[in-house]
Chain A
């Protein structure tokens, strides 16, 4: 079966960079995704990366993909208090639905 793994908690100081890591299992996933969930809300698609790319940058967000190790990371530069949320990594195995990781709760300390 597919299991997406993430560490559950991360604390950083405001202004520092945050790096959230994820490992996935299914190499058939064409895209890999990062979602953000704020309290009381649904999931918001932050960014996604095509599986034949190594890196994608979008403003303060950088996604790195190591397909050989099935490792995905999300770097948030200049982390702000508004970035405090739960971040989910997700894969989309061919012909199947999205599989989400357990989520990493990011706490940004002033």
Chain B
């Protein structure tokens, strides 16, 4: 069974640009969550989608948005990039049983 797939693995963008990251969950998983990981702040929850609906949202500015498609694939978008948005963005999928997330390998975003 394929794992959680995140694309691209690495991305370099300049300040002010926007970026879209993609996540394909494990087949059958309908919940997709996104986390930002930085050395200073650790793992911070961005949002969770379930059946195309945002179910929970973390404490991030409106520049961070996401969506989920009918096949459970999810995208997150960051507009007007700032240097502080440089991070590893992790996507995780899960079943409703809550037996833990399965994480992807992440997208490392560098903003210059």
Contact = CB atoms under 8 A, between A and B. Distances in A.
A43 B103 CA distance: 6
Nearest to B94: A98
Contact of A42 (B45, B56, B99, B104): B104
**SS class, residues of chain B in contact with chain A:** strand
B106 A42 contact: yes
B65 interface: no
A101 B103 CA distance: 16
Nearest to A44: B103
Interface in A4-29: none
Nearest to A100: B43
Contacts of A100: 35, 42-43
Q: Could you say which interface size class chain A belongs to?
A: 20 to 34
Interface of B: 4, 6, 33, 35, 42-43, 45, 48, 56, 58, 90, 92, 98-106
Nearest to A40: B105
A88 B6 CA distance: 21
Given A41-B105, A42-B104, A42-B106, A31 B99 contact: yes
Given A97-B48, A97-B56, A45 B42 contact: no
6 tightest Cβ-Cβ pairs between the two chains A and B: A42-B103, A100-B43, A43-B103, A45-B100, A42-B105, A102-B42
A35 B112 CA distance: 31
Contacts of A48: 99-100
Nearest to A47: B100
